Structure 1
Amino acid sequence: MRYTMFGNTGFRVSSLGFGAMNLPGVPLEQARETLNYALDHGINYIDTAAGYRNSEEIIGECISHRRTEYFLATKTARRDYAGAMEEIERSLTRMKTDVIDLLQIHYVNTVQDFKAAMGENGAYQAALEMKRMGHVRFIGLTGHRPDLLTKWIAKDQFDQVLFHLSLVQPFALDELIPELIRRNMGRTAMKPLSGGFVQPVSKAIRYPYSQDVHTTISGMVSIAEVKENMAAMEAEIGEREKIELEALAKELGSHNCRRCNYCSCPVEVKIPDVMISSQVRRTFGLLPKGNEFYEKQQGPILSCAEHEPCKEKPLCEQQCPYHLPIQQMVTEASLLYNKVSPA
């Protein structure tokens, strides 16, 4: 396991971080075994959030007795001071700890959200107060808009940023990661499998491992998944492999969707998942989770082209800040259901 100094924090963190978002979906004893196995084998970065169902409580129940062995990161999605303070206090109780190593302002994707969180009565003030009280060590920011995140860190108010970095979303490399490096901030990559769409798993994990990030959060729910993810990081990345991975990321990321979720669909197509999986679907096919997604989305995807208000000018495309050809890509996805390939 590779360990690097996490920005200016003074902590050394493992290159593979444990994403605890999906732990509420498995039996408690399985979660306990998985978390303890991860700690036993050198993973020392645990990532969760107040909004991940009872994930924080699972961490408190399963590994709080080993608190000195891991760097603990959680998040608040509240934008107001009172709401954030309440969530942070509850997180401390749930995780049975006196201190959160990294408290992140969660899922900030719009200017309005950022202004609300950073305002006089915003969530950031709650994080600062808890830091002054010794219950929070560092403050971070998470989001899906690397271009905006790059601007928002300009005032040195944060110690870390959590961002997408995967074979299908390499966009943080353009501006965000270079700026984080320049400021020596903590760099945490998330969703290397992009929610279960990207394969092969080994390449998916090795891509962010090949870049200048400190830790990559992978959502794991079993010992087998921990082993698989750790095995992908056993060998260091050579220059030739790095070039190959970057070329693959350029191809698989050609959809240009950042998963910012500005778009909405009146027939409930899950647009970011369709966009992000589009090229990997053509190149490698889909993992079981991806196939399950398309089975569930068959109705909305097939009804997209016939939705009257969108025929002349698709509503989703009017909302997209990147002006992407969303309807065209959803139409291509619809061909999955009659096994006809796009021309």
Structure 2
Amino acid sequence: MRYSMFGQTGHRVSALGFGAMNLPGVPFEQADAALNYALDHGINYIDTAAGYRNSEEIIGQSISHRRSEYFLATKTNKRDYASAKEEIERSLVRMKTDVIDLLQIHYVNYVDDYKAAMAENGAYQAALEMKAAGKVRFIGITGHRPELLTKWVAKGQFDQVLFHLNLAQPFALDELIPTLTKMGMGKVAMKPLSGGFIQPVEKAIRYPYSQDVNVIISGMVSVDEVKQNLAAMELEVEAEERQELEQLAQQLGAHNCRRCNYCSCPIGVTIPDIMISSQIRNTFGLLPKGLGFYEKQKESIMSCADYEPCKEKPLCEQKCPYHLPMQKVVQETAVSYYK
């Protein structure tokens, strides 16, 4: 396992982080075994959030007795002071710990959200207060807009950033990661499989592993998944493989969707998933989770071309900050995937 100094925190963290978002979906015994196996095999970064159902409670039940062995990161998606402080205090109780190593202001994609969180009575004030009280060690931010995150960290108010980085979403490499490196901040990449679309798994994980990040958060729910993720990181990425991965990322990232979720479809198409998986689907095919997504979305995708209010000017495209041809991709999917 590769370890690196996590920004300016003074902590050494494992390159593979345990993403606990999906643990509430499996039996407790399975989650408990996965978490403890991860710790036994060198993973020392645990990532969760107050909004991940009872994920924090599972962590508290499973590994709080091993608290000295891991760096604990959680999140609040509250924007006001009172709600954020209440949620942070609840997280401490749920995870059976006296201190949260990293508290992140979560899912900040809109300028208004950022302003609200950073205002005088915002969530950031609550995080600072909890830090002063010794209940939070470091403060970070998460989001899906790498160019906005780059601007928002410029004032030096955060210790870390959590961002997308995978073969289909390499966009953090442009400005965000170089900025974080220059500022000496913690760099955490999430969704190496892009939510269950990218395969093969080993290749998917080795791409962010080849980049300048401290931790790659991979969602794991079983001992077998932990083993699979660890195996993907056994060997360092050499120059030839890195070049191959870079070329593949350029190809799979051609859709240009950041998954900022500004777009919303009146007939229920989950547009970012269609956009991001479009190139993956054509190149590698889909993982079972991706196949399941397309089956669930079939009716909505097939209805896109017939939705009258969008025929002249697609409603989704009017909201996209990147001006992407979303309607065209959705309708092409309807023809090519379900033919």
TM more than 0.5: yes
Q: Give the match for residue 303 of structure 1.
A: 303
Query: d(CA) in 2 for partners of 1:177 and 1:201?
Result: 23
Q: Give the match for residue 100 of structure 2.
A: 100
CA deviations 1:35-87 (Å, max 9, x no partner) are 00000000000000000000000000000000000000000000000000000
**Residues 1:174 and 2:174 are matched in the alignment:** yes
CA deviations 1:286-318 (Å, max 9, x no partner) are 011110000000010000111000000000000
User: Within 5 A, what are the aligned runs for 1:61-76?
Assistant: 61-76=61-76
**Letter in structure 2 aligned against 1:270:** T
**Letter in structure 2 aligned against 1:186:** G
**Letter in structure 1 aligned against 2:271:** I
Query: d(CA) in 1 for partners of 2:176 and 2:142?
Result: 12
**Letter in structure 1 aligned against 2:325:** P
Q: Give the match for residue 244 of structure 2.
A: 244
Instruction: State the identity as a percent.
Output: 76
Q: Give the match for residue 193 of structure 2.
A: 193
Query: d(CA) in 2 for partners of 1:39 and 1:235?
Result: 20
CA deviations 1:79-135 (Å, max 9, x no partner) are 000000000000000000000000000000010000000000000000000000000
Q: Give the match for residue 56 of structure 2.
A: 56
Q: Secondary structure at the match of 1:290?
A: helix
Query: d(CA) in 2 for partners of 1:134 and 1:226?
Result: 32
Query: d(CA) in 2 for partners of 1:209 and 1:121?
Result: 38
* Offset, 1:336: 4.1
Moved more, 290-299 or 327-336: 327-336
Q: Give the match for residue 35 of structure 1.
A: 35
**Letter in structure 2 aligned against 1:95:** M
Contiguous gaps of at least 5 residues in structure 1: none
Q: Give the match for residue 322 of structure 1.
A: 322
**8 Å CA contact 1:298, 1:337 repeated in 2:** no
Q: Secondary structure at the match of 1:189?
A: strand
Query: d(CA) in 2 for partners of 1:24 and 1:177?
Result: 31
Query: d(CA) in 2 for partners of 1:44 and 1:282?
Result: 36
* Offset, 1:337: 4.8
Q: Secondary structure at the match of 1:104?
A: strand
* Offset, 1:195: 0.6
**Residues 1:45 and 2:45 are matched in the alignment:** yes
Query: d(CA) in 2 for partners of 1:79 and 1:242?
Result: 39
Q: Provide closer, same or farther for how the CA distance between residues 337 and 245 of structure 1 changes in structure 2, counting only shifts above 3 A.
A: closer
Query: d(CA) in 1 for partners of 2:290 and 2:337?
Result: 14
Query: d(CA) in 1 for partners of 2:129 and 2:30?
Result: 36
* Offset, 1:335: 1.8
* Offset, 1:333: 1.0
Q: Secondary structure at the match of 2:18?
A: strand
Query: d(CA) in 1 for partners of 2:151 and 2:17?
Result: 26
TM-score (structure 2 length as normaliser)? 0.99
User: Within 5 A, what are the aligned runs for 1:181-330?
Assistant: 181-330=181-330
Query: d(CA) in 1 for partners of 2:122 and 2:333?
Result: 41
**Residues 1:124 and 2:124 are matched in the alignment:** yes
**8 Å CA contact 1:168, 1:276 repeated in 2:** yes
Query: d(CA) in 1 for partners of 2:171 and 2:75?
Result: 23
Query: d(CA) in 2 for partners of 1:33 and 1:286?
Result: 28
**Residues 1:85 and 2:90 are matched in the alignment:** no
**8 Å CA contact 1:106, 1:142 repeated in 2:** yes
* Offset, 1:332: 1.2
Query: d(CA) in 2 for partners of 1:30 and 1:336?
Result: 39
Q: Secondary structure at the match of 1:187?
A: strand
Q: Which runs of 4+ in 1 moved over 3 A?
A: none
TM-score (structure 1 length as normaliser)? 0.98
Query: d(CA) in 2 for partners of 1:233 and 1:286?
Result: 22
Query: d(CA) in 2 for partners of 1:310 and 1:140?
Result: 39
* Offset, 1:338: 3.8
Aligned alpha-carbon RMSD (Å): 0.5
Q: Secondary structure at the match of 2:51?
A: coil
Query: d(CA) in 2 for partners of 1:126 and 1:336?
Result: 50
